[in-house]
Amino acid sequence: MVDPSPNTKKIKRIRRALQVSRGRTSLSHDEPARGSIKTVSNAEEILNGALKLSTGERARIARELLASLDDRADENNDQAWVDELETRAAEIRNGTAELEDWDSVRKTISANLRK
């Protein structure tokens, strides 16, 4: 097995530290902290460490952080989209859907983009 690079180890340490300090979702000092001063200090240390990483590594961490914020909302949205797609598919099968041909839709989109 290949030894993880120092940056991979750093990312893992940052990820672990973020999990520990999850009680605080923002570094904004305008927002009251949900935790101790130590949590804020940890968050600032994590941010400082993350800023020292390469652009690609920072982008990966940013994606993971944003995804962690969207988890709960996505669960509800995913089911809503499944329900909507099932409803639309049933309307098409039953012949009750009002369908438009592609040329008509494309002309409408083009006209709206020109406005």
Q: What is the pLDDT of residues 56-76, one digit of tens each?
A: 999 999 988 887 776 565 666
Q: Is 33 within 8 Å of 40 (Cβ atoms)?
A: yes
Answer yes or no: are the C-beta atoms of 67 and 45 closer than 8 Å.
no
**Between 15 and 114, where is the model more confident?**
114
pLDDT tens by residue, 15-39: 666 655 554 444 444 444 455 556 6
3-state secondary structure of 50: helix
Residue with tokens 């993350």: 50
For the ranges 38-42, 47-51, 108-112, the one whose mean pLDDT is highest: 108-112
Model pTM?
0.33
CB 45 within 8 A of CB 17: yes
